[in-house]
Amino acid sequence: MPNKNMPNGRNAYGKRNSGKRYITYRKAPYKKPQPPKVQENVRIAFLGGMNEIGKNMTLYQYKNDMFIVDCGLAFPNADLPGVDLVIPDFTYVENNVDKLRGIIITHGHEDHIGGLAYLLKRVNVPIYATKLTIGLIKGKLEEHNLLGKVKLVEIKPRDNITLGEFNIEMIHVNHSIPDAVGLAIKCGAGVIIQTGDFKIDTTPVDGDMIDLNRFADYGRRGVLALLSDSTNAERPGYTLSEKSVGESFEKLFRMAKNKRIVVATFASNIHRVQQIIDVAESRNRKVAVLGRSLENLVNVGSELGYLNVPEGILIDINMIRNYPDEKLVLITTGSQGEPMSALTKMAFGEHKKVNLTPNDYVIISATPIPGNEKMVGNVVNELMKRGVDVIYENMYEVHVSGHACQEELKLMMGIVKPKFFIPAHGEQKHLQKHADLARAMGIENENIYVADNGDLIELNEDSLRKVKTVESGEIYVDGIGVGDVGNIVISDRKKLSKDGIIIVVATFDSATGYAVSGPDIVSRGFVYVRENEDLMNEARDLASQVIDECSDGKYHDWNYIKTKLRDELSKLMYDRTKRSPMILPILMEI
C-alpha cells in the first residue's frame, strides 16, 4: 500500500498536502443484544439456634440442592416437666429429602450434634465432620443402633467438599473443643461465611490458632453474607485464652494442700480435661473420672490422640478408696447443677461411690448457663453445708468461654467484609446486640437481618428478604418417645404438679344401667385426705348427685356424665380451696 506521507509535502497521488488532517469513522460491528443478567438466589432456612441457646440447625438451598449445617439439641427448662431433651422439628427437611445432599457438623458439642441420631432415623444422608467430631458422633449413633448404617466422611480444615451446586471449604476456628471449623459456602449466588461457634485464641491449648488468613482471603474476594456466633455479643473486650485456666488450676491445686480435689466441668471440654490431668500429674495425684459423657469423651479423646494421658495416672472410680485424699483428683460432670449429675448427687449425699467431707476441695470450672443459676446455687449451698471448700464462678479464673466477645466479633466482621450480616446462635438479646455491633462497623441497617426459627430467607447480590415461614419448633424427647409429648401433655403435667389430681371412680350395672359401686374419690397431690375428710365427703355426695341426675336406665351418655362431673367438682374445689386440680372421672360397666 503506498505511503500517504511522501517527500516534499506531496501525498500518494502527487498532490501537495494541505496540512489538514482527516478522521475516518468506521461503523462498529453489529452485536446481538444480550438478555438481562438472571439474578442468582440462595436460600437459608433457620430450623434452630435463633432466639435460643442450643438446638442449632441451618439449611441452605441453591437451585435443587440442599445441605444442613449442624443438628443439635437443647436441654429442657423448668417449664417442661419430665422432658429429657428438646430437638428441632424435622418436618421441612423430610418434605425436601429428595434435594438433601448431606449434613456438615462444625464441632462436637451437644447443641450441634445431639439431634443428629434422631434426624438420621428419618433421612439417611452422608455426614461430614472433623476427626474428633466423627468420633463423638459414632458414640451417638451406636446408642441408637445406627452405627454402620450412615456414611461418615472425615474432613479437615482447608478441605473442600462438593454437595450438588455447593462447594464448601472448612476453616479452622478456636472453641472449647478441638477440631471446630467455620464454613465458606460457595454457590452461583456468592460466598456465605458461617463461623460456627468460635473465639480468637492466640495461645490455644492445642497450638493451632484460628485461621484468620483464610477468612481474610474470602473478605478480599467478596463475601455475600456472614452468619456469626452471637453467644457473647453482650460482653466487651476479648475472651481469655484457655491457657489462663491452667494457670489458675496450678494455683488452686497448691491451695488445696492435702485435701481431695473435685473438679466439675463441661463433659465436652477436652482442653479443660487435659489441663486438669497435666496439673494433677505435676502434683503427683491420680485422676478418676465420673459421669458417662465425661468417660466417653476421655476414651474417644485418648483413642484419637486429642488427649495426652500419662500411663498410670487414670484410675477407676472404684479404686479411689485405695488412695489417700491428697493423692486424688476427681473430674466430674454437674457444673450446671443438673439434677441427675454426679456433682449434684455428691452434694446431696446420694452418690453411691463418692462421699464428700470437709476434706474435699471442689472447683466448679464453668459459668452457669442462663437459667441454670438457681440449680448451681443450690448445689453450692449443699456442698458448703457439708463443710466443703467450694471455688465457683468468678472467685478465680477457673473458666473461660469458648465464644468470641465484642472485639473479636468486630474483628471477624472487619476481615470478612460481608455485604449482608445475620447474627446467629443466641437469644434475642444476643442477636440484637450483635446487630448493633454490625451497625457500628458500618454495615447498613437494611443489610442486617435478625432471624427467628422458621424464617426462610433469600439472598442475592442486591437484596436479602424473608420468603416465608417454614415448619420449625421443638420436638420433645421423653424416654424412648420422640414427639409423643406435646403441648397438651406438658399442660397436663404442669397442672398436676401445681394442683394435683382428683379421680372419681364409679361402676354401673350393664343390665339395669344404675350405679352399683361408688362413686369413690381418690386424691393425689391435692390435699391430705385425712385432714380434709369433710371436703372429700362433700365431693362424693356431689358426684353421686350428678350421676343420679344423668342416669336414664340402660342408656348413658358417658361423655356428658364425665364433663358434668369435671365441671361440678372443679367448681366445688375452687370454691373451697381456690385450687384447680385435674378431675379424672373413671366410669365402668359390669
- Cβ atoms of 499 and 581 within 8 Å: the answer is yes
Q: Which H/E stretch holds residue 331?
A: strand 328-332
C-beta atoms surrounding 97 within 10 Å:
13
Report CA-CA distances (Å) from 239 to 43, 194, 204, 231, 242.
Answer: 33, 20, 12, 12, 9
Reply yes or no on whether 172 is catalytic.
Answer: no
Would you call 90 helix, strand, or coil by DSSP? Answer: coil
Report CA-CA distances (Å) from 307 to 151, 240, 304.
Answer: 26, 22, 8
Query: End-to-end alpha-carbon separation of the chain, Å?
Result: 123
Reply yes or no on whether 229 is catalytic.
Answer: yes
What contacts 334, CB < 8 A, 6 or more positions away?
Answer: 264, 291, 341, 342, 343, 344, 345, 346, 379
The three three-digit cell numbers of residue 44, written as one number: 437459608
Looking at 201, 211, 229, 360, which residue is catalytic? Answer: 229
The three three-digit cell numbers of residue 17, written as one number: 498536502
The three three-digit cell numbers of residue 95, written as one number: 418434605
Looking at 107, 351, 403, 425, which residue is catalytic? Answer: 403
Instruction: Give the span between the Cα atoms of 277 and 261, in whole angstroms.
Output: 12
Instruction: Give the span between the Cα atoms of 414 and 425, in whole angstroms.
Output: 20
- State the DSSP string of 222-273: -EEEEEEE-TTTTS-S-PPPTHHHHHHHHHHHHHHTTSEEEEE--TT-HHHH
List, by residue number, the catalytic residues: 229, 403
